[in-house]
Structure 1
Amino acid sequence: MFLQIVHILLTVLWWFIIAQAVMSWLIAFNVINTHNDFVRQLWLMLDRITEPLYRPFRRIMPDFGGLDLTPMVVLILIIILDGPVLNYLARFAYANGMA
Structure 2
Amino acid sequence: MDVIIAPLFQIVLIVIRLYIWVIIIQAILSWLIAFNVINTYNRFVGSISEVLYRLTEPALAPIRRRLPAFGGVDLSPVVLILILVFIQMVLTRLMFKVL
Give the TM-score, by structure 1 length.
0.89
- Provide runs of 4+ in structure 1 moved above 3 Å: none
Unmatched tracts of structure 2, length 5 or more: 1-6
Match of residue 45 from structure 2: 39
1:48-87 pair list within 5 angstroms:
48-83=54-89, 85-87=90-92
**Shift of residue 86, structure 1, vs aligned partner:** 1.2
Quick check: 1:6 aligned with 2:12?
yes
1:84-99 pair list within 5 angstroms:
85-94=90-99
**Shift of residue 15, structure 1, vs aligned partner:** 0.7
**Shift of residue 76, structure 1, vs aligned partner:** 0.6
Q: Kindly report the root-mean-square deviation, in angstroms, between the aligned alpha carbons of the 2 structures.
A: 0.9
**Shift of residue 79, structure 1, vs aligned partner:** 1.0
- Paired-residue identity, %: 45
**Bigger relative contact order (CA 8 A; separation at least 6):** 2
Match of residue 4 from structure 2: none
Counterpart Cα distance in 2 of 1:79 and 1:56: 18
**Shift of residue 88, structure 1, vs aligned partner:** 2.1
Counterpart Cα distance in 2 of 1:43 and 1:60: 24
Which amino acid in the other structure matches residue 14 of structure 2? I
Match of residue 20 from structure 1: 26
